[in-house]
Amino acid sequence: MHCLEVHRSLVAGSVVSAAILALSLGSAAAIAAPVPAVSTTEFQVPVTFLSACGVGFRCYLPTLAAVTPSARTDAPGAVSFAAAPPTTISITWLDCIDVTVHWRNLTTGVTGTTEIRRVPPDYSRAPGEWCRYNPTTVVTGSGTVAATADVAAAASRTGDHRPISSGVGLFQVR
């Protein structure tokens, strides 16, 4: 089995596991409850990766970084995915990499993929504000939506990050 096939299998298993876990922990009532007009849900599991310090050089001790995507449902049948800056021991804009989101509407079966892209660093801001993301909006349709997020595509482009685990989110879209 190829590495990409193994990764996809793990992602699919993560979504199913998260949905089963959420339902078994008694959150079925929360899933069936009416959805407010506007709601933002952070992914229950963040995306994690090893930061190897940046383009052109390597660190001897890469640090673990985590990005927590969120889903905002402010229009019927649509979701805006966004992300907060990564958390690391010492955050730098070098840890700010694109996040790919794979989603599935569990009610209708509709699926899709999108990417939350980072904004190029604005050096006129304070260093802690160099990492920002552009939200991306997709049409999922109404229902329960499960999503996984990862940095595998961005890590393969930069070569300076190593994905550890996918993020997982489960939320309701009106």
User: Based on the structure, what is the number of domains in the chain?
Assistant: 1
Q: What angle do CA 138, 3, 69 make, to 5 degrees?
A: 30
Q: Is the pLDDT of residue 26 over 50?
A: no
**Segments forming the whole domain that contains residue 134:** 3-173
User: Closest Cα to residue 75, out of 113, 37, 32?
Assistant: 37
Q: What is the mean pLDDT of the chain?
A: 80
Task: Report, as an integer, the average pLDDT of 51-62.
Answer: 60
Q: Per-residue pLDDT tens for 98-133?
A: 999 999 999 999 999 999 999 988 888 887 788 899
Question: Could you tell me whether strands 47-51 and 161-165 are parallel, antiparallel, or unpaired per DSSP bridges?
Answer: antiparallel
Q: Which amino acid is at 153?
A: A
Comparing 33-37, 42-46, 48-52, 113-117, which segment has the lowest mean pLDDT? 33-37
Q: Is the pTM of this model over 0.85?
A: no
Q: What is the pLDDT averaged over residues 136-163? A: 93
Residue 38 CB contacts under 8 Å (≥ 6 apart), including other chains: 72, 73, 74
